Structure 1
Amino acid sequence: RMTPSHVQALLAHRGEAVSACAHVFVVGGEAFGAGLARSLQAAFPHARIYNHYGPTETVVGCCWYDVSAALETLSGPTLALGRPMANTQLYVMDAGGRLQPPGVAGELWIGGAGVAKGYVNQAALTAEKFVPDPFDPARRVYRSGDRVRWRADGQLEFLGRLDGQVKLRGYRIELGEIAAVMESVPGVREAAVVVRGASEAARLLAYAVGAPGEDAATLQARVVSTLQQRLPAYMQPTACMLLAALPLTANGKLDRRALPEPEQATGAGEAP
């Protein structure tokens, strides 16, 4: 099992002999992009690729999606989370704890055999995140904090983190939506968006990693132009920076705190 960030590193350093072997890739821990999935499948044509979702609080795995089987028909920037694994219940709930119908977004509540007992020595947080199952009060579910919805084909779709939604100057913004637009730009391997500062001083900062051989200035201009064309003015980053690589934690996930300020980033540039 590996994160999408690990996949990026693998693609940059793979060998021809390794690529010719059959593999099974189970990818999780972060949102898995369709573009990265296609690159992985092209590099390892005999491999089977699965998107595997599940927080630590549900013993990691609670649903899965067969990426290789759906590769020909993928649409949109990110992959589906898929269907629940055995002994798992997935509920899409609104803020009032009401079940949402297919197509309507809500928070993912996870139930089943894999739900943890709670957090050690954190009773208040345990009570907040582990709540009674609305359809079986004798059992508990975990409130994941992830925004999802059921698609028409019965697959669960990831829409971002509830805490990834920010309110900036009166507008509600989904940071993952901005990053997804950036990753749709040809030549961009991965992207991230954060908010720095508070109140009127708050600003959106965008970071992108280019594919090998891409001219930094040209790619940066292409990213800024795409953002201006596809997103409203209030979602435009204050600065769009190119990095050699996104900083990672020891677990291979994006380390948002380590992302540099604009003046520290190589190839940084202010968005018009």
Structure 2
Amino acid sequence: MSALRRRGSTWVILGLGFAFLYLPVLLLMAYSFNESRLATVWSGFSFKWYGELFRDRQMLDAAWISIKVAFWSATAAVVLGTLAALAMTRMRRFPGKTLFGALITAPLVMPEVIIGLSLLLLFVSMGQALDMTPKGIVAIWIAHVTFTLAFVTVVVSSRLQELDRSLEEAAMDLGANRVKVFFLITLPIIAPALVSGWLLAFTLSLDDVVIASFVAGPSSTTLPMKVFSSVRLGLSPKINALATLMILAVAIAALIGWWLMTREEKRRQRDMQMALQEGGQEEAGKPATTP
């Protein structure tokens, strides 16, 4: 009886935790179909705010800018983060390796206000030296790559540290160079970590409002900045509709990423089992040696 009580209390606590996390999100999605102009007063079911959202050109332009910046920021962060992770886990100790690791992971613990302010001062100095506009989409992209690079490096580094080095060494013993080993052996194994790092970097870039506020120009307003300025003037049901679409997009992307990683992991386990079976058959086929 005590075991049943403990199990029941565990499920109750788990349910309360999930309700605390996801009930506000579900309420927000439900009120996106509210007919009333008041975002918190239900008056009937309607899709009209989705129509209002798609007729808001400024909101759509801001969303397109955020998606472009997030995509290219995540892609660049994965490439640079993978190179940094390889340098930290595969290269022998070199002068300044500790400082290099500290600088790579510094954005993890540094306040976003400090990052945004420091990048703003850097861009202003570069703009004065090169006689160019320091703010804009490119500045947001550089800032987001700098910010998300640390997260990708940590994710990929943890996967590289768990990787069996004997697989790479066996490939090199068979004549493959390091570049071929990386693309044929290492990269397929760490692919789930790359997908996870890309999704994390994409989400962080799409969600950022503090750093983008420092480096954005007049024609490079991102979606979080637009939403934040709209909420300050009054909560509109269009924001609920926009949030619902973003939640659905992120959920679909997460499901696709989970499916790809699961399929890759199953394929890798199947290949390892086939290799072990072939190795066992070869051992069984060898003639027994007499002492």
Normalization by structure 1: what TM-score?
A: 0.24
Which has a greater percent of strand? 1
Q: Which has the higher contact order (CA 8 A, sep 6+)?
A: 2
Could you say which structure has the higher helix fraction?
A: 2
* Greater C-alpha Rg: 2
